[in-house]
Amino acid sequence: GAGVSQSPSNKVTEKGKDVELRCDPISGHTALYWYRQSLGQGLEFLIYFQGNSAPDKSGLPSDRFSAERTGGSVSTLTIQRTQQEDSAVYLCASSYLWGGTTDTQYFGPGTRLTVL
């Protein structure tokens, strides 16, 4: 079946602008994650959604970052007033809830964000 998809593949924006990144999880997967991959910080967890539960936002680096998940499926990560340090690859992953815990996370191809 189809894997996790993300759009856009690449995004170039100017400092101070807002951006929205989209993630479509694998059909039937109830858990969705966002990670950020940058040269300096490696792979960092940002946020986690599981069904109707309150999201785990513990990895969001500032209040300029927010995410929502509509209808338990598609998710949008929004970065307001972008800064150059926000330049990174943003990865989305999804997994299936099984036996009370989530299974292996499957990743999308990522969105490369460049802030000029």
Partner 1 sequence: AQTVTQSQPEMSVQEAETVTLSCTYDTSESDYYLFWYKQPPSRQMILVIRQEAYKQQNATENRFSVNFQKAAKSFSLKISDSQLGDAAMYFCAYRSAEGGSEKLVFGKGTKLTVNP
Q: Report the chain's C-alpha Rg in angstroms.
A: 14
Contact 21, 6 (CB under 8 A): yes
Binders of partner 1 among 1-30, rule CB under 8 A? none
Which residue in the set 31, 77, 79, 113 belongs to the binding site for partner 1 (CB under 8 A)? 31
Residue 58 makes contact with partner 1 by CB under 8 A: yes
Q: Is 56 exposed, middle or buried (0-12, 13-18, 19+ CB in 10 A)?
A: middle
Residue 67 makes contact with partner 1 by CB under 8 A: no
- Minimum separation from the CB atom of position 18 to partner 1 (A): 24
Residue 72 Cα distances to 36, 45, 57, angstroms: 21, 20, 16
Which residue in the set 19, 23, 29, 35 belongs to the binding site for partner 1 (CB under 8 A)? 35
- Minimum separation from the CB atom of position 76 to partner 1 (A): 19
